[in-house]
A = this chain, B = another copy of it.
């Protein structure tokens, strides 16, 4: 096991009816900016529950934060925070709204153009306090200090991470996910699955507890994922998926082990350039990446085959190929396509993606830092 540091001060409040506890989590003298997305929280009861819980508070609402939240939109909220003397940010929605809220929290305290800090995380010294009511299990943003932001003007999608944007609390009520469209439910399961594989399918370093924790989440997704697709109101299944999503990216899995975030990095660029859903990009890239890097990841792929998929017969090469195929089939069982051609994306997009990496000072990816631009091209070609 490698040395590690772990710190995660987010308070998680989990379960049905827990939105009512909001009032205890935000001091009564705080002026709150409630941030949300496209308005689904107004169609289900979430918005009303939040307003009811905060009826003694001073609350201003700001809607319209996009999936893959736009820098341009978020900067409007930054101006409102300053104009209205807001002192607490409350994200109500999925990972995009929450990522946007983290960006706003840091941007308000940043002295120059906040887009600058996306490639200079250490320059972020302070942020406003924030909290979240989560309505879509997927990104894990509710219990970490990272965020992914898109600049529409330049089609850039970049991540940042800084401990000053940990939410003070996140309220997770699984019933808020009952009315999610199946496509979003499916994308969320896949996002969680890939977060786990990115911290697990690397090379072994004798960290059996971390391995088993990763396998625990994958096995639970295999069992519970089909249940939420079959019955959108299955409380326990929704709760189990929601907790898997949080545990999948709260930092525990990566402790003392190598990681490989290449699937997300390539996926972000595909969303920025071609508009695919985040979950769709992962369903496309992960099987291709595992195939291209199968020798590097051989030992862990065999362990994954045995412990998660019970694949123990056949020679090693056959098992490696079989488990990659099982992974692809799992994604497709949620109705998510795993080939770029099925999204009408051709190889013509590849050169501009590679140029984009070069423009952002590309550093090789993968647990061995050996996924260079040529290999990204191979992975994308294999994904067509």
Q: Taking beta carbons and an 8 Å cutoff, which residues of A are in contact with B?
A: 1-18, 206-209, 212-213, 215-217, 219-220, 223-224, 236, 239-240, 243-244, 247, 255-256
A255 engages B220 (CB within 8 Å): no
Q: Hey, which chain B residues are within 8 Å of A256, CB to CB?
A: 14-15, 239, 243
Residue in B closest to A171 when the chains form the complex, CB atoms:
B5
CB-defined A-B contacts under 8 Å, sample of 7: A1-B15, A1-B243, A206-B240, A208-B220, A212-B216, A212-B219, A243-B255
Q: Hey, which chain B residues are within 8 Å of A11, CB to CB?
A: 5-7
Residue in B closest to A207 when the chains form the complex, CB atoms:
B240
Alpha-carbon separation in the docked complex, A26 to B244 (Å): 35
Alpha-carbon separation in the docked complex, A8 to B209 (Å): 20
Alpha-carbon separation in the docked complex, A179 to B281 (Å): 50
Q: Among the listed B9, B14, B18, B247, which residue makes an inter-chain contact with A9, where contact means beta carbons less than 8 Å apart?
A: B9
Alpha-carbon separation in the docked complex, A11 to B251 (Å): 12
B208 engages A224 (CB within 8 Å): yes
Alpha-carbon separation in the docked complex, A1 to B1 (Å): 32
Q: Hey, which chain B residues are within 8 Å of A224, CB to CB?
A: 208
Known: A208-B223, A209-B243, A216-B216. A5 touches B1 (CB 8 A): no
Q: Hey, which chain B residues are within 8 Å of A18, CB to CB?
A: 3
Q: Hey, which chain B residues are within 8 Å of A206, CB to CB?
A: 236, 240
Q: Among the listed B208, B212, B216, B239, which residue makes an inter-chain contact with A1, where contact means beta carbons less than 8 Å apart?
A: B239
Alpha-carbon separation in the docked complex, A1 to B243 (Å): 10
Q: Hey, which chain B residues are within 8 Å of A247, CB to CB?
A: 209
Q: Hey, which chain B residues are within 8 Å of A6, CB to CB?
A: 11-12, 14
Residue in B closest to A209 when the chains form the complex, CB atoms:
B220
Q: Hey, which chain B residues are within 8 Å of A236, CB to CB?
A: 1, 206
Alpha-carbon separation in the docked complex, A236 to B240 (Å): 32
Residue in B closest to A214 when the chains form the complex, CB atoms:
B216
Alpha-carbon separation in the docked complex, A208 to B216 (Å): 8
Q: Hey, which chain B residues are within 8 Å of A209, CB to CB?
A: 216-217, 220, 240, 243-244, 247
Q: Hey, which chain B residues are within 8 Å of A13, CB to CB?
A: 5
Top 3 A-B residue pairs of the complex, sorted by shortest distance between their CB atoms: A3-B15, A212-B216, A9-B9
Known A1-B239, A6-B11, A243-B255; 14 more pairs at CB < 8 Å: A2-B15, A3-B18, A4-B15, A6-B12, A7-B11, A9-B9, A14-B256, A206-B236, A208-B219, A209-B217, A209-B243, A212-B219, A213-B216, A239-B256
B14 engages A5 (CB within 8 Å): yes
Residue in B closest to A218 when the chains form the complex, CB atoms:
B212
Known: A208-B223, A256-B15. A8 touches B8 (CB 8 A): yes
Q: Hey, which chain B residues are within 8 Å of A2, CB to CB?
A: 15
